[in-house]
Amino acid sequence: MSGHGAPTVNVDGSGMRVAVVAASWHQEVMGGLLAGAERALAEAGVDRVDVVRVPGSFELPVACARLAKQRYDALVALGVVIRGGTPHFDYVCQAATWGLTQVAVTTGVPVGFGVLTCDDEQQALDRAGLPGSVEDKGHEAATAAIATAAALGGA
Ligand code: DLZ
């Protein structure tokens, strides 16, 4: 994982089935997040990966709720929300965070939280796992999701 204080995680994801649910706002940043998540899953040996695109981060919870019923070992939710001049930012962030938490705790399917909530586009680019970025949040979210699935495997 990439952020300050993040753990080093080595997880064997072979045999797992994972869905990556990705919003579509802020295309360049989303490209980095999605590539990072796919790289993390490949590094862990996850060979069954489905990518589902939704319009915005507000739509991530409903898509994850549906997919959680379809025998995935883990889900990875990716999105980018950038603060604008209206309270919309807060509503979208809150809905995504609360909704994804609900999906995880009510279904028991781990959901990696890869939703960037940033003041401006530069903050998002810094976390996107692109050349020049300092963090790779898509990789981090995917790793967290499958590490949690592995930890709960025998539960
Ligand atoms: C409407 C909106 C706005 C203003 N900003 C973002 C954003 O920065 N990131 C994002 O993922 N989605 C945004 N959206 C779209 C909402 O998530 C949602 O798709 C719409 O409100 C339609 O339900």
CATH of the domain at 88: 3.40.50.960
9, part of any domain: no
pLDDT digits (tens, 9 = 90+) for 78-89: 999 999 877 889
18, part of any domain: no
How far apart, in whole angstroms, are the C-alpha atoms of residue 69 and residue 49? 16
For residue 116 the two structure tokens come to: 């960037």
For residue 2 the two structure tokens come to: 């990439």
Nearest to 109 by CA among 81, 138, 67: 67
64, part of any domain: yes
1, part of any domain: no
Q: Is 25 annotated as a binding residue?
A: yes
43, part of any domain: yes
Structural domain for 100, as ranges: 26-51+58-149
How far apart, in whole angstroms, are the C-alpha atoms of residue 105 and residue 116? 21
State how beta strands 111-118 and 48-53 pair. unpaired
37, part of any domain: yes
The DSSP element (H or E) to which 29 belongs, if any, is: helix 27-43
How far apart, in whole angstroms, are the C-alpha atoms of residue 108 and residue 145? 12
Average pLDDT over residues 124-128: 98
pLDDT digits (tens, 9 = 90+) for 61-108: 999 999 999 999 999 999 999 998 778 899 999 999 999 999 999 999
Please give the distance, rounded to the nearest whole angstrom, from the Cα atom of residue 73 to the centre of ligand 1.
27
134, part of any domain: yes
Q: Is 80 annotated as a binding residue?
A: yes
| pTM of the predicted structure, to 2 decimals | 0.96
Neighbours of 101 (CB within 10 A): 13
38, part of any domain: yes
Among 33, 53, 82, 88, the mutation site with the greatest number of ligand 1 atoms within 8 A of its Cβ is 88
Among 28, 58, 93, 115, the mutation site with the greatest number of ligand 1 atoms within 8 A of its Cβ is 58
Nearest to 119 by CA among 71, 80, 68, 147: 80
Domains contained in the chain, number: 1
